[in-house]
Amino acid sequence: MRKATKNSKRDGQKRSGSSHAGKSARLPLRTKAKAMEWELRLYVAGNTPNSITAFSNLQQICEEHMGGRYRIEIIDLFENPQLAQGDQIIAVPTLVRRLPTPIKKIIGDLSNTERVLVGLDLKPARTFAAGR
């Protein structure tokens, strides 16, 4: 891979300004990656009421508590059942927090906002237990 990088630089130097364009194109990507702190996967099984409710609840929680610093990936296991194996999904809907680490999982329609906030480490567990 290093050879390809060196060759790319050489090719870029031969062409006027193309190596500079490559560098500036990479900088915004790094900035975006830093700004996006939450990577979430929601595993569903088709357009069932529970799946739709889970997605709606997740969007609301993310907007209220993550300030736009998130990305949600919906994985429909009816379309891609093999993808359940990677995150060891045993029930749907299941939310998997990939980033920030460690990986966390929440099963259900995400209607209990307090439980979801604690599960995502957005709220301390003590506050949740005291509120019961």
SS3 state of residue 102: coil
d(C-alpha 68, C-alpha 58), whole Å: 13
The average pLDDT across 27-39 equals 55
For the chain, percent of residues with pLDDT exceeding 90: 61
Task: For residue 37, name the pLDDT band (cuts at 50, 70, 90).
Answer: confident
DSSP state of 103: P
The average pLDDT across 109-129 equals 85
Per-residue model confidence as pLDDT tens digits over 40-70: 999 999 999 999 999 999 999 999 999 889 9
Is residue 131's pLDDT more than 70? Answer: no
Question: What is this structure's pTM?
Answer: 0.68
d(C-alpha 128, C-alpha 124), whole Å: 7
Q: What is the largest CA-CA distance in the chain?
A: 67
d(C-alpha 84, C-alpha 80), whole Å: 8
DSSP state of 81: G
The token pair at 124 is: 């301390």
Q: Label residue 12 exposed, middle or buried (CB < 10 Å: 0-12, 13-18, 19+).
A: middle
**Do the beta carbons of residue 89 and residue 77 sit within 8 Å?**
yes
Model pLDDT, residue 35 = 54
